[in-house]
Chains A and B, each alone.
Chain A
């Protein structure tokens, strides 16, 4: 019964082992823009029709609408049947690389860890998704309890006294913290005197940017020769004008600043406050806390350290943790417990008011709570230790690659991430860090350089978190090693990358040209489409 050709092929052969590098190719659907898929008359979903009695009683609902408010031409949205909408978006999804699909250690500072599926499923319950934020408290005791419990957990993790979960993401939490600091100084009659905020060049740009929005003059500490924020520079800029120090530790370099308490003491000595950006907290859970380092406020990104999915850039969630001196200024309402039931406290006269609508991104708070509950104190400590072990393992391996280096703090261990440099490789081969990223995409991975400005030349920032195995890290290193080898032997393949992505090298010029840029399809049609 065997296939007629079988005999000619000889004895059955084992399938060859996989090559060292994955022969990856991303989906390339060559998908049109959704408007090009429109077919007149097709429907994707039908809205429920009002009953006849409603229609009769309502009459012409536009009869008292002035002409200026009545829409004359329908919006030119695409007209598509349901399967075509679904198919289009599924194709686009296949042209996108989530954590679930790749060894996502390349987006350093983003803490791309595994977001457990079970938590997503729990959060999709109508018992959460169909809750309205103004429901009577007796009908939302479950979600308020989750919020309260999670606040208690964050108090212990940070060592701080009070927590708000209201901010929608990290940068908004930074703003909430600086707004509380502003209110603190105002309450003491020092609002107009304290006009300066100090931050560091390796802190996230939002520290500087949010403080600027809050009205402060920004002073940026450069790194010293060892990569730490320059303490000598801090000494020269602190004064009675200092409102706050906004700083990260470790910064994006991954080097822990051992003098952090001296920084906070110095700022306190002149009457300033200290805000800790804990976006980089993943390696420090149960190891060291904001409280002991002398901070007055700190924030965590739940979509980073606490595992909630990043959603292509939100919705995230964040928490501000503060000392009791700062508590009067927390945004309203706070979530409280009176021993019997959970409630919202709006009666906080010194509060900075609202930061966002309602009380926080409830579905992500639930996911973060569930994540902590699956791990406990020992598990969180394991998260930190393995994240740091993974990072130092990766560091060790990357430094073996020709052309790569890790500036600053030679020979020192790092916490949860490292900002590397390809300066040597770029000098020797003409291949730039950004292009290495384009080539890395050919092997099914992400890669990130750094925030701007590039303080480290030809930067690359890797953060392996606890979610990746040794084999995963070895594979990522093998990709980088292969690309570095190509840089020295066949740089053209990098200059022309990516080759295996949904699309090829994008022409950048139009993005900065007002006559050619097109943020929407209608703008594109007007400007460029013949």
Chain B
């Protein structure tokens, strides 16, 4: 190894002469002086043991691309995986906008020099509001798990009660996060589902709901893909008992499916990953929360809410934080939960997506997905021993396929499908033992007839 002094491209002042001049300017002999307050006992007195650096950009690219080449993506393998992270088409303009330095590398500037970010996020809130038919939507939180946890906590604060009722069909991962998040202020109780339809057992709901119920939560579509057709009735039960009706929703369904507000939801929440954001191995999530524009609701949001206002110049739009005093930025632990860096760039991206799609695009997309799903269910049901569950219930983009009568496990089937270049649906056998050997399949607008036929044929071959 040569001992020559390295000038780092990312560190302009690593030029030795500059360093010397600056030390001189502040009358310091060496940088050690700046660390004089750190006691010797907690100093690291050796060089960190880290991998040798790849100083040139070329070497770095070679190394990282080599690592990435060990992955096989859904561009190379036909995938039917969903479970809350869905493969939708990402329009080029979405990537173009969120790759802009001005957005990508900005952070928390004022609504003057960062006017663009404020307007883009206000527009995101506004377009989501049109989808959701609600008047308040937050700047994105981390993801749907967080949005749900906060929506339930909001309901707890609004009602002064501490029980949240959730359908037992929710994603176990989300249940895990939400239970940990609302603890110890609230408890989650699960309402059983009808094994033939997947829908919430209304009789059980009526028995479980009481004067301690802060929130009744349902999902449309559910984690298992079906639409909760009793949503309106469930909302009534919640309201009759003084509870808040919270609905988790996949926003990409709302070109054709009624928004939760239209069947009585007080709070809608969910994830925006479907709206123009790549899956990124699970790194593409952002969460939204929406309510009516009532002060009691607005004051319970922990998130930033960007609002529009006049400026001192006629005709200019200005933006700023609505009801900032509710946040932890303003009042630390006295604020509502906390606010911090979350998923703003995904909010901007989802806004671009909705503007590109427009009302017609969202309607066509939603209908097209439902058509593909019906087609896939029909074809799969024709395979002996294979049965789509809850098939009398309408579905949006995911559905459960049961393999019990094939005598094979999902694990075996998925392994065989992988050998044919297909990622089969998520194995549900551990999460939902009552569903037997079942898998959760996801079909979206990116799937062609040929893709679905290929899947069906492959399953047929695997089972032969």
Q: Which residues in B have their C-beta under 8 angstroms from that of A303?
A: 341
Q: B14 is contacted by which of A175, A377, A382, A526 (Cβ under 8 Å)?
A: A382
Say how far B95's CB is from chain A's closest CB, in angstroms: 8
Q: Which residues in B have their C-beta under 8 angstroms from that of A75?
A: 130-131, 133, 254-255, 259, 359, 362
Say how far A243's CB is from chain B's closest CB, in angstroms: 12
Provided the pairs A101-B102, A314-B343 are in contact, do residues A412 and B181 lie with their beta carbons within 8 angstroms? Answer: no
B313–A504 CB distance below 8 A? yes
CB<8 Å pairs between A and B, sample of 17 = A54-B375, A69-B220, A75-B254, A95-B116, A98-B103, A98-B106, A124-B95, A131-B73, A142-B68, A142-B69, A168-B342, A169-B340, A175-B181, A287-B43, A376-B51, A501-B113, A519-B122
A-B residue pairs, 10 tightest by C-beta: A376-B53, A358-B282, A44-B356, A506-B318, A96-B116, A311-B345, A142-B70, A171-B340, A98-B105, A133-B282
B85–A133 CB distance below 8 A? yes
Q: In the complex, which residue of chain A has the Cβ closest to the Cβ of B182?
A: A213
Q: A503 is contacted by which of B96, B295, B311, B394 (Cβ under 8 Å)?
A: B311
Q: Which residues in A have their C-beta under 8 angstroms from that of B98?
A: 311
Stretch at the interface among A2-10, A230-238, A510-518: A510-518
Q: A357 is contacted by which of B101, B143, B293 (Cβ under 8 Å)?
A: B143
A359–B281 CB distance below 8 A? yes
A520–B93 CB distance below 8 A? no
Stretch at the interface among A83-91, A319-327, A417-425, A479-487: A83-91
Provided the pairs A85-B93, A393-B22 are in contact, do residues A360 and B310 lie with their beta carbons within 8 angstroms? Answer: no
Q: In the complex, which residue of chain B has the Cβ closest to the Cβ of A285?
A: B48
B311–A505 CB distance below 8 A? yes
Q: Which residues in B have their C-beta under 8 angstroms from that of A389?
A: 13, 19, 22-23, 26, 31, 34
Say how far A291's CB is from chain B's closest CB, in angstroms: 9
Q: Does B140 contact A (CB under 8 A)?
A: yes
Q: Which residues in A have their C-beta under 8 angstroms from that of B325?
A: 512
Q: B26 is contacted by which of A127, A396, A466 (Cβ under 8 Å)?
A: A396
Provided the pairs A451-B329, A469-B12 are in contact, do residues A139 and B311 lie with their beta carbons within 8 angstroms? Answer: no
Interface size on B, residues (CB 8 A): 216
Q: A511 is contacted by which of B35, B129, B320 (Cβ under 8 Å)?
A: B320
A470–B22 CB distance below 8 A? yes
Q: Does A373 contact B (CB under 8 A)?
A: yes
A92–B64 CB distance below 8 A? no
Q: Does A375 contact B (CB under 8 A)?
A: yes
Complex-state Cα separation, A286 to B298, whole angstroms: 45
B67–A142 CB distance below 8 A? yes
Q: In the complex, which residue of chain A has the Cβ closest to the Cβ of B363?
A: A74
Q: Which residues in B have their C-beta under 8 angstroms from that of A132?
A: 74, 79, 81, 85, 87, 279, 281, 423
Known pairs A353-B179, A523-B129 / 8 extra A-B pairs, C-beta < 8 Å: A45-B356, A53-B449, A132-B281, A205-B338, A256-B35, A314-B344, A357-B145, A504-B313
B320–A506 CB distance below 8 A? yes
Q: Which residues in B have their C-beta under 8 angstroms from that of A437?
A: 110
Q: What class of interface size applies to chain A in its complex with B?
A: 35 or more
Complex-state Cα separation, A153 to B232, whole angstroms: 52
Q: A386 is contacted by which of B14, B231, B293 (Cβ under 8 Å)?
A: B14
Stretch at the interface among A12-20, A58-66, A267-275: A58-66
Q: Does B225 contact A (CB under 8 A)?
A: no
A311–B103 CB distance below 8 A? yes
| Per-position 1/0 for A279-292, Cβ under 8 A of B | 00000011111001
B71–A143 CB distance below 8 A? yes
Q: In the complex, which residue of chain A has the Cβ closest to the Cβ of B55?
A: A374
Say how far B187's CB is from chain A's closest CB, in angstroms: 13
Interface residues of B in 110-148 (CB under 8 A from A): 110-117, 119-123, 125-131, 133, 135-137, 139-140, 142-146
Q: Which residues in A have their C-beta under 8 angstroms from that of B341?
A: 169-171, 301, 303, 310, 313-314, 316
Complex-state Cα separation, A495 to B57, whole angstroms: 47
Q: Does A363 contact B (CB under 8 A)?
A: yes
| Per-position 1/0 for B164-188, Cβ under 8 A of A | 0000000001101101110111000
Q: Does B403 contact A (CB under 8 A)?
A: no
Q: Which residues in B have their C-beta under 8 angstroms from that of A88?
A: 355
Q: Which residues in B have their C-beta under 8 angstroms from that of A257?
A: 37
B279–A131 CB distance below 8 A? yes
Q: Does B100 contact A (CB under 8 A)?
A: yes
Q: Does B224 contact A (CB under 8 A)?
A: no
Q: Does A130 contact B (CB under 8 A)?
A: yes
| Per-position 1/0 for A298-320, Cβ under 8 A of B | 00010100010111111111000
Complex-state Cα separation, A216 to B48, whole angstroms: 36
B356–A85 CB distance below 8 A? yes
Q: In the complex, which residue of chain B has the Cβ closest to the Cβ of A153?
A: B50
B13–A470 CB distance below 8 A? yes
Q: Which residues in A have their C-beta under 8 angstroms from that of B384?
A: none
Interface centre among A124, A206, A438 (most CB of B within 10 A): A206
Q: Does A179 contact B (CB under 8 A)?
A: yes
Interface residues of A in 434-466 (CB under 8 A from B): 437-438, 441, 444-448, 451-452, 466
B28–A392 CB distance below 8 A? yes
Complex-state Cα separation, A412 to B112, whole angstroms: 35
B106–A99 CB distance below 8 A? yes
B130–A382 CB distance below 8 A? no
A93–B227 CB distance below 8 A? no
| Per-position 1/0 for B310-351, Cβ under 8 A of A | 111101111111111100111111010111111111101001
A74–B375 CB distance below 8 A? no
Stretch at the interface among B205-213, B238-246, B300-308: B300-308
Q: Which residues in B have their C-beta under 8 angstroms from that of A209?
A: 328, 332-333, 335, 337-339
Q: Which residues in B have their C-beta under 8 angstroms from that of A79?
A: 358-360
Q: B113 is contacted by which of A26, A80, A357 (Cβ under 8 Å)?
A: A26
Complex-state Cα separation, A357 to B185, whole angstroms: 22
Complex-state Cα separation, A71 to B8, whole angstroms: 57
Q: A64 is contacted by which of B38, B128, B394 (Cβ under 8 Å)?
A: B394
Provided the pairs A69-B257, A314-B140, A507-B318 are in contact, do residues A498 and B281 lie with their beta carbons within 8 angstroms? Answer: no
Interface residues of B in 1-49 (CB under 8 A from A): 6, 8, 10-14, 18-19, 21-23, 25-26, 28, 31, 33-39, 41-44, 47-49
Q: In the complex, which residue of chain B has the Cβ closest to the Cβ of A217?
A: B333
Provided the pairs A131-B71, A146-B67, A260-B42 are in contact, do residues A97 and B102 lie with their beta carbons within 8 angstroms? Answer: yes
Q: Does B383 contact A (CB under 8 A)?
A: no
Say how far A361's CB is from chain B's closest CB, in angstroms: 4
Provided the pairs A98-B104, A287-B35 are in contact, do residues A503 and B374 lie with their beta carbons within 8 angstroms? Answer: no
Q: Which residues in B have their C-beta under 8 angstroms from that of A388?
A: 31, 34-35
Q: Does A494 contact B (CB under 8 A)?
A: no
Interface residues of A in 33-56 (CB under 8 A from B): 33-35, 42-51, 53-55
Q: Does A490 contact B (CB under 8 A)?
A: no
Say how far A209's CB is from chain B's closest CB, in angstroms: 4
A313–B278 CB distance below 8 A? no
B279–A34 CB distance below 8 A? no
B75–A126 CB distance below 8 A? yes
Q: In the complex, which residue of chain A has the Cβ closest to the Cβ of B423?
A: A135
Q: B231 is contacted by which of A68, A86, A93, A255 (Cβ under 8 Å)?
A: A68
Say how far A175's CB is from chain B's closest CB, in angstroms: 8
B11–A386 CB distance below 8 A? yes
Q: B50 is contacted by which of A43, A140, A376, A505 (Cβ under 8 Å)?
A: A376
Say how far A523's CB is from chain B's closest CB, in angstroms: 4
Provided the pairs A355-B177, A358-B281, A388-B31 are in contact, do residues A215 and B370 lie with their beta carbons within 8 angstroms? Answer: no
Q: Which residues in B have their C-beta under 8 angstroms from that of A395?
A: 26
